[in-house]
Chain A
Amino acid sequence: MKILGPQGVTDNTWRSLPPGEQETAPEIKREAPLPDGDLLAPADVWRTRRDALLAHPGRRLGLLLHVDDPWEEFLPLLPRLALIALNFPAFNDGRPFSTARLLRERHAFRGELRAVGDVRRDQLFFMRRCGFDAFCLVPEQQSPQALEQALSALREFSVHYQSAANSSTDIFQLRRDHAALKTAK
């Protein structure tokens, strides 16, 4: 899968751990060695294998969150996470937009915030403003041409009214600046 990120289009280098380990023979799985490389683990794996995940200081770690996961319990982990992937179960499910803003603005998460799941071109602009900086588009939008189009979706608007997680200045502030400039003159 290709990832659209701050550096443009790159290959996904993260290895995703499958969910549901605790349900299928947890005794065995808990003992099994973790694969090498950067690991993206879902919430339940983090719960059962937290110590194993944290055992290798050199390894980059990620957390995959679904909309129903109680993500606040993972807040103490934030400093150790290089990646949080928020899953969109459907194109029109807006919950991860709020979660993303809270992670960035309230909990100062500075790692990569990746949108996964039903991620499509026409949500990207909103996603980026809420603090996402990497996007894994659905398979049918993975062609080079579609990814090119997706990049242009990020440039569709040059202004916005709300201040959100990305740093660009909102219209309310632009007007204040403009008024201040006029008074100064």
Chain B
Amino acid sequence: MPQLLTNKRLILLLLGVILLVALISFSLRDRSNVSLPEQIIKDAVGAGQSVFSRPAHFVTGIFDNVDSLLNTFEENQHLKTRLEEFASVQAEVKDLRSENEELNQIVGKEEDLRDYNPIQATVIARNPDQWEEKIILNRGSNQGVAENMAVMTASGLIGKVTLTTPTTSTVELISTLNPNYRVSALVVGGDEEVFGLIEGYDAERRELLLKRIDADIELKEGDQVISSGLGGIFPKGILIGTITEITIDEFGLTQLAYVKPAADFSLLNHVIIADRVMPEVDGEDNGVTGDDES
């Protein structure tokens, strides 16, 4: 009988392979929303996961604290030198802010691309096989999270929401290799604002690629790159990173800049989801919108 047993196993294996291919091709399609059973599983696992991630965050918090204690002296020295500068900058910011408000009132402009409602969230898991750059947050559509919203830490943009369920949401980090991942960006620091698109990630340099900048415009290394808010989803003014190198792109028509991300993608803990106040355009940030599909 062992012969029969192996035959049966072989058939099972073949059936399994067929089922596997069918399922994978089903789930690899560009799906905008998740099916109900998936949602149930995601919510259930998410609830369990947040129980386990809490002590882990506690432990990493202790390590962070010890780490920052060790650096206290150097940091203090550094901060002291910056303190005087800070006071004057703050005064200037206050002045500019009030002036801006006044001017806005004069022209009757109430909404701004910069305004957003922050939704605080905790990272409950990172995709454990780190092939895709994804993290999972403990806030979902119940808290007002929607697809394509910007996700950031205190230091800068880290990614955008790709999937939501009632209590969890999946975030695709900006360091993904996905070619359809675009963020409309703005270079500040020069005389005028320069627009470009964050498109792609150089895994070896660990830097983002800022493409489609006009060849005539002169950029400087060290210029800051922020989100422009013109893509339709992200608010304006989220720091993305600083330019480290400027070259000509592969076609020789436009410039390409390497941007070092401001945020650190490892050991993410607390993040902020930006829900823009201004009406959002459907579709991705600077992707294909519902209206102009061509």
| Interaction A to B | no
The residues of B with any CB-CB pair to A shorter than 8 Å are: none
The residues of A with any CB-CB pair to B shorter than 8 Å are: none
